[in-house]
Amino acid sequence: MLHIYCPYCEEMREEEEFSYSGEAHIARPTDPESLTDAQWGDYVFFRTNPRGLHHEMWNHAAGCRRYFNATRNTQTYEIHETYKMGEQPTVTGGKP
Amino acid sequence: MSSNQNNRLETGGRIDRSKPLTFTWNGKQFQGYQGDTLASAMLANDIKVVGRSFKYSRPRGIFGHGAEEANALMQLGVGKETIPNPRATQIELFNGLTATATNGWPNADFDLMEWVGKIGGKMMPPGFYYKTFMWPEKMWMTYEKFIRKAAGYGKASLEADPDTYDKMNRHCDVMVVGSGPAGLAAALEAGRAGKRVILADEQNEFGGTLLASKQTINGQPASEWAEAAAAELAAMDNVLCLTRTTVFGYYDQNFLGALERRTDHDGMTAKSGTRQRIHRIRAHQVVLASGAIERPLVFANNDLPGVMLSGSVATYVNRFGVVPGNRCVVMTTNDSGYQTALDITAAGRTVVAIVDTRHNPAGRLVDAARAAGITVKAGHAIIEAKGSKQVTDALVAPIDATGENLTGPATSMSCDLIAVAGGWSPVVHLSCHTGSRPQWSDEVAAFVPGPTIQHQHLAGAINGEYTTAGALNTGAQMGAKAAGSEAASTYDCGDESVCPAQAMYLVPHTKPVSRAPKQFVDFQNDVTAAGIELANREGFESIEHVKRYTAMGFGTDQGKTGNINGMAITAKNLGKTIAETGTTIFRPAYTPVTFGAIGGRDIGELLDPSRHTAMHPWHLDNGALFENVGQWKRPWYYPQAGESMQQTLNRECMAVRNSVGILDASTLGKIDIQGKDAREFLNRVYTNAFSKLAVGKCRYGLMLKEDGMVFDDGVTACLGENHFLMTTTSGGAAGVMAWLEMWSQTEWPELEVYFTSVTDHWATCSFSGPNARKVLEKLCDDVDLSSDAFKFMDWREGTVADIKARIFRISFTGELAFEVNVPANQGLYMWQKIMAAGEEFGITPYGTESMHVLRAEKGYIIVGQDTDGSVTPQDCGMHWVVGKNKEFSFLGKRSFSRPDTSREDRKHLVGLKPIDPTAVIPEGSQIVADPNQPIPMDMLGHVTSSYWSECLGHGIAMGTVISGQHKMGETVYCPLADGRVLAAEICSPVFYDPKGERHHD
């Protein structure tokens, strides 16, 4: 069971309080109607599935109910950082 | 009663001879002592055969003394108390204990299947089941029943467990797993440093191997030192000592599961309190001091009762005062066997010989054995055990230095006990649970824990540190390290020098492996060296494949003793090293955990909370049957005496159509939405426009996911310019709440909007029918209820039965209807007032089933029943609810024009009118165009909703049909499982009052 730091509550809490909410930093296109079907399909359906570092959204569902981001290693389950919505990750494994 | 414990020593051991205990094994009574395990008491009574093997039904005896025991699985207790498959070696003896063998038919001592095993043994290679019983495929179920009966382990009780179980959450700085020398030393350092420490050990007292040791620690007898250490730890406020507690799982980020057996040692059921407890432990640092398990050697008939692990024999002698035989041959590859031989000799029994595979053993223990007059046969091995139900002889032959070839003829040694010392395998299981792969160490000749990201420290034998002083000192160092300090204590145990061990796994025989008598690798799963060889020959080379093909390492044993030998044999067959062959990794649980403990208090009514509306007591009093909707208990229907379900539904529905009926609609999800941008937010998440919804008005809305598929629906009321009340489906409330919050927080933080779930705050009485207004008029005089003043889809604030209420004129039945919302505390009162006011009109409570019929007559969809996440608004004919001119591209809109979403031949939700007016098509039926088409037929879709409509006098249904909206009037068919075919005409889903005049009335 993961031990997750909620950046809003500023506390380590048990995974049971959280729900997973998919890949982070997927911005909704500002003008969907101008996109090609392929571009829109990419936004709606396609997500990365890396072995290693993954930036993902979590919701502190049984806590403050805030959404936040986490950088988690999908192989070791290590959570390197959690950060607030709108912030950028500092652990990127050398990728921008 | 048999009280002659022939194998019991007069003195010695940690048992209390003044406290005899009676126990029953396979229907016969025996005696043991306080402090015994069931296994030690059975051995004291010279019980040899304790069960039958899984596949070949061979007789098996006790072989280990702890978690490594693979044979002695018990059926403990009888009736509702019974527990299947605990190991006799881990059951503490109590007075009145009853145990039987888990297998063997007619009994373990005489087993008919043994003959099947003997005759059929050659015919039961690995993969046997796949190869034989899978064909013909249809017969598999028959075969399986037979196999299960023949092989099976213990049986679980079918009655409710009389005991209670619970769970506790724990936090600590340092978690120490195992209380042998390493664990005790680690806990002492961390405890003395003031850290919060938890020390857990599966046995009834701390000390591990020290309890059966004759060594000294800093001059003090080892067992005394252990007792003093345990006492010191028990006295520390910052240390939690958990005996009889198995750490069964090690999960991510230093989270551990530990099972504490609180009363198992005291009887079958707890006299008070909880029987077992799971500790859920979150630790800053973990010290693994789980020790090592001795390896058996793989030689012919090595599974005969009387063949035991050398260290286990020593434990029985020293800790329990039991010598499991009178004439022992010790087979060893290292010095461990010598200590056992010395202990047996000291107990006054005969050691026929020490058979050492090494050619030149020398040093401290070897000298001591020779000095004690024990014959040492160096460069020899036991190649085969002889006997039928127990060992009678050992065949001993000389071997070469590689240990792979015999160099001379075998001679026979008469004996009734063979103690085998094949080296030690660190208990790496826990370190594997977090995904860390064990690494082979040539130095240790075993797998040791590999690299990990956990805050984990290794102490003692788990890391190949096999001397007592080494375990104590690494324990102290790791305990101190985990505590962030320096070790304060050092330990000395005198001369512990040993002669180097030989790495040895499979012992050669005069015949090749495939011809020799069975050489067992995994006792619990009856995996032999020949079986592994065959699997390798058939192309199973990956150790993971070998495991699955042969079943090596399966079952409750999880390969504790067999795995390394199996990997070594595979490596040899493939011409690789063990390091290259690699290992399978261990998963939780280390030893089985009872379902009672896993369930804890989360059973029965506490398994899942059930939610009741404010009116629940009334529903109970009035005979409602209930339906589960999420966690809600909703009234399903209210049968009266003598009514069938259909008669009830007919009565309820007709009351709504002809007069007035009432529904408890409190469970509908309700979200209070406020903020200056609330209106814009609704525009974005709903398909239709909310820009112009005036205060006092309501609007039906449809919510989509970004893929354009229907996700939820409901009515939203405008309470104020910046204030709305959204309703959702009962089951979707939590999901919609999270959905709205996500968009608000992640994409549109600039919109000022706030969401509050108020589902439980409001109780909702929904009453509908031509007389609904008349009922409300009797209770409310401060709202103009006339049709012109209070229109359909309006809401008003008013006083109903002297309570301030929100009244919504919305309808899910197609009739004139009002929903009265009051704070939940007043819900029951309001319901009763409306019932009283409606009495003269015959107001009739109805449940979810009639609600479904009434809405289906009107063609109203139920999200999740008529839709399934692959249905667009257009698919269900709801183009009217999609805003064409909305400025913002609302959620899901862009997907409408995707090729797959916009094609004309999608499945459409349509009405289906059975041609036979008495027929009701079963929900879920498949729809086809031609029922005479050969199978497989082309499926057009399926029936999503179907009911008998009493007011229409025929069955009605809705379903999805390919291009259904373009097939109005066509006939389709539903072939049923019973062979009937029901025909139906495709029609509009609005069966009743298609112009919608009634709800506008």
Chain A residues lying within 8 Å of B282, measured CB to CB: 3, 14
Residue A21 lies in a domain: yes
Helix/strand/coil percent split, chain A, to 5 = 15, 35, 50
* Domain housing B661: 616-667+761-854
Q: DSSP letters along B798-836, please?
A: EEETTEEEEEE---SSSS-EEEEEEEGGGHHHHHHHHHH
Pick the residue from chain A with its C-alpha nearest to B748: A28
Q: For position B47, what pLDDT does the model report?
A: 95
Cβ contact, residue pair B894, A40, below 8 Å: yes
Q: Are B740 and B708 in a shared domain?
A: yes
- The alpha-carbon gap from A95 to the nearest alpha carbon of chain B, in Å, equals 22
Q: Last residue of some domain: B854, B884, B911? A: B854
- The alpha-carbon gap from B870 to the nearest alpha carbon of chain A, in Å, equals 14
Strand blocks (E) in B625-679:
625-629, 632-637, 661-664, 669-674
- The alpha-carbon gap from B549 to the nearest alpha carbon of chain A, in Å, equals 27
Cβ contact, residue pair A67, B741, below 8 Å: yes
Q: For position B445, what pLDDT does the model report?
A: 87
Select from A44, A45, A75 the residue whose CB has the most chain B CBs within 10 Å, as the one to mutate to test that interface.
A44
Residue A56 lies in a domain: yes
Query: Which residues, 6+ apart, have CB-to-CB distance to B416 below 8 Å?
Result: B306, B325, B326, B327, B328, B390, B391, B392
Chain A residues lying within 8 Å of B254, measured CB to CB: 3
What does each C-alpha distance from B593 to B84, B85, B158, B248, B685 come to in angstroms?
Answer: 11, 11, 18, 8, 47
Angle between helices B733-742 and B678-685 (to 10 degrees): 110
Q: Are B344 and B243 in a shared domain?
A: no
pLDDT-based confidence at B649, cuts 50/70/90? very high
Size of interface A-B (CB pairs under 8 A): 62
Chain B residues lying within 8 Å of A47, measured CB to CB: none
Chain A residues lying within 8 Å of B892, measured CB to CB: none
Select from A1, A5, A6, A78 the residue whose CB has the most chain B CBs within 10 Å, as the one to mutate to test that interface.
A1
Chain B residues lying within 8 Å of A76, measured CB to CB: 435, 453
Q: Are B660 and B781 in a shared domain?
A: yes
Residue A94 lies in a domain: no
Cβ contact, residue pair A2, B252, below 8 Å: yes
Backbone angles phi, psi at B710, to 5 degrees: -65, 135
Q: For position B120, what pLDDT does the model report?
A: 47
Flag the least confident range among B119-123, B277-281, B765-769, B981-985.
Answer: B119-123
Tokens in use for B990?
A: 């609005």
Nearest to B747 among A19, A28, A35 (CB): A28
Alpha helix stretches (DSSP H) within B280-389: 310-320, 336-346, 364-371
Residue A60 lies in a domain: yes
B116 has pLDDT over 80: no
- Region B838-843: what's the mean pLDDT? 98
Residue A49 lies in a domain: yes
In angstroms, how far apart are the furthest CA atoms of chain A? 43
B106 has pLDDT over 60: no
Cβ contact, residue pair A44, B251, below 8 Å: no
Q: Are B980 and B997 in a shared domain?
A: yes
Residue A15 lies in a domain: yes
Q: Are B682 and B655 in a shared domain?
A: no
Encode B786-807: b = buried (16+ Cβ within 10 Å), e = exposed: eeeebeebbbbebebbebebbb
CATH number of the domain that residue B978 is part of: 2.40.30.110
Q: Are B407 and B270 in a shared domain?
A: no
Cβ contact, residue pair B435, A75, below 8 Å: yes
Q: For position B516, what pLDDT does the model report?
A: 95
Q: For residue range A51-66, what is the model confidence (pLDDT) as tens digits?
A: 999 999 999 999 999 9
- Report the C-alpha gap between B939 and B270 in whole angstroms: 58
Chain B residues lying within 8 Å of A85, measured CB to CB: 745-746, 749
Q: Last residue of some domain: B695, B730, B757? A: B757
Query: Which residues, 6+ apart, have CB-to-CB distance to A42 below 8 Å?
Result: none
Nearest to A35 among B742, B747, B894 (CB): B894
Chain A residues lying within 8 Å of B897, measured CB to CB: 37
B124 has pLDDT over 80: no
- Report the C-alpha gap between B847 and B638 in whole angstroms: 7
B3 has pLDDT over 70: no
Nearest to A41 among B251, B434, B898 (CB): B898
Q: For position B154, what pLDDT does the model report?
A: 83
Query: What is the average pLDDT score of chain B?
Result: 93
CATH number of the domain that residue B265 is part of: 3.50.50.60
Q: For position B114, what pLDDT does the model report?
A: 59
B1 has pLDDT over 80: no
Q: For residue range B21-78, what is the model confidence (pLDDT) as tens digits?
A: 999 999 999 999 999 999 999 999 999 999 988 788 899 999 999 999 999 999 999 9
Pick the residue from chain A with its C-alpha nearest to B895: A40
For chain A, what is the domain count?
1
Q: DSSP letters along B374-432, please?
A: --EEETEEEEEEE-SSS--EEEEEEB-TTSSSB-S--EEEE-SEEEEE--EEE--HHHH
Between residues 33 and 52 of chain A, which touch chain B (CB distance below 8 Å)? 33, 35, 37, 40-41, 43-45
Pick the residue from chain A with its C-alpha nearest to B437: A76
Q: For position B135, what pLDDT does the model report?
A: 52
- Region B843-868: what's the mean pLDDT? 97
CATH number of the domain that residue B349 is part of: 3.50.50
* Domain housing A64: 3-84
Strand partners, B504: none
Specify the length of chain A in residues. 96
B902 has pLDDT over 90: yes
Cβ contact, residue pair B707, A1, below 8 Å: no
Nearest to A76 among B254, B435, B889 (CB): B435
Residue B862 lies in a domain: no
CATH number of the domain that residue B690 is part of: 3.30.70.1400
Q: Are B751 and B792 in a shared domain?
A: no
Pick the residue from chain B with its C-alpha nearest to A14: B282
Q: Are B388 and B468 in a shared domain?
A: no
Residue A93 lies in a domain: no
Chain B residues lying within 8 Å of A57, measured CB to CB: 746
Chain A residues lying within 8 Å of B889, measured CB to CB: 31-33
CA angle B398, B401, B406 (to 5 degrees): 35
Cβ contact, residue pair A77, B255, below 8 Å: no
CATH number of the domain that residue B633 is part of: 3.30.1360.120
pLDDT-based confidence at B595, cuts 50/70/90? very high
Nearest to A44 among B434, B435, B707 (CB): B707
Strand partners, B24: B29, B98
pLDDT-based confidence at B142, cuts 50/70/90? low
Residue B126 lies in a domain: yes
Residue, of B4 and B926, whose pLDDT is higher:
B926
Q: Last residue of some domain: B839, B854, B869? A: B854
What letter would DSSP give residue B751?
A: S
Q: Are B117 and B171 in a shared domain?
A: no
Helix/strand/coil percent split, chain B, to 5 = 25, 30, 45
Q: For position B324, what pLDDT does the model report?
A: 96
pLDDT-based confidence at B132, cuts 50/70/90? low
Q: Are B242 and B108 in a shared domain?
A: no
Cβ contact, residue pair A67, B746, below 8 Å: yes
Q: Are B824 and B741 in a shared domain?
A: no
Residue B244 lies in a domain: yes
B2 has pLDDT over 50: no
Q: Residues B622, B734: contact at Cβ < 8 Å?
A: no
Chain B residues lying within 8 Å of A40, measured CB to CB: 894-895, 898
Flag the least confident range among B583-592, B806-815, B901-910.
Answer: B583-592
B554 has pLDDT over 90: no
Chain A residues lying within 8 Å of B746, measured CB to CB: 57, 67, 85
Residue A89 lies in a domain: no
Cβ contact, residue pair A85, B282, below 8 Å: no
- Region B71-89: what's the mean pLDDT? 93
CATH number of the domain that residue A36 is part of: 3.30.2270.10
Q: Residues B542, B548: contact at Cβ < 8 Å?
A: no
Cβ contact, residue pair B253, A2, below 8 Å: yes
Cβ contact, residue pair B255, A1, below 8 Å: yes
B144 has pLDDT over 70: no
Q: For position B137, what pLDDT does the model report?
A: 54
Flag the least confident range among A27-36, B135-144, B443-452, B972-981.
Answer: B135-144
Pick the residue from chain B with its C-alpha nearest to A61: B738
- Report the C-alpha gap between B823 and B783 in whole angstroms: 19
- Region B233-262: what's the mean pLDDT? 97
Q: Are B415 and B473 in a shared domain?
A: no
B385 has pLDDT over 80: yes
Cβ contact, residue pair B897, A77, below 8 Å: no
Nearest to A33 among B706, B707, B894 (CB): B894
What does each C-alpha distance from B249 to B256, B294, B463, B975 come to in angstroms?
Answer: 6, 22, 19, 51
- Region B782-799: what's the mean pLDDT? 96
For chain B, what is the domain count?
6
Q: Look up the ipTM and state it.
A: 0.97
B802 has pLDDT over 70: yes
